[in-house]
Structure 1
């Protein structure tokens, strides 16, 4: 049995220590940037909805509401930003981030 090859307990503990240190370094960095990631996701959603508003305006010659975009199949569902806020379409067709999605 002494000729069997494998890892010793010390080698396994060193590997676990290295993995733990790497996790301790990366997790705070990811959580620190969470707000900016959600903001960029919301900006992307607003740009996509703005494109659909423009397409609706070209087809129907009027500014749509969010409900009209969903019912006319320009959007699959009512858009909600990753931070929980909905989108609002102004009377001139400009799309912005609104309040919480339940109020939008």
Structure 2
């Protein structure tokens, strides 16, 4: 997974969180690729789904998703973790 994101020159920064049966990835694309954010997120999502067929994969290039995923990772209290991940996944689906 790390190699997939590092090799893609269009991606500037990425945060990936795996918990139970979910994988959420927030991407920050390079400045000149910002008009293709959705396309890039879709391509990365397809690759991650191939690598992790047993997980529910959510990928977004929206900065809010990147920030919220980062907050979840830094969160010490793992209580309601799954619930928050589902909420974040719903936010991504809502954005499209």
* TM, length-normalised to structure 1: 0.26
* Higher strand residue share: 2
* TM, length-normalised to structure 2: 0.27
Whose radius of gyration is greater, 1 or 2? 1
Q: Which has the higher contact order (CA 8 A, sep 6+)?
A: 2
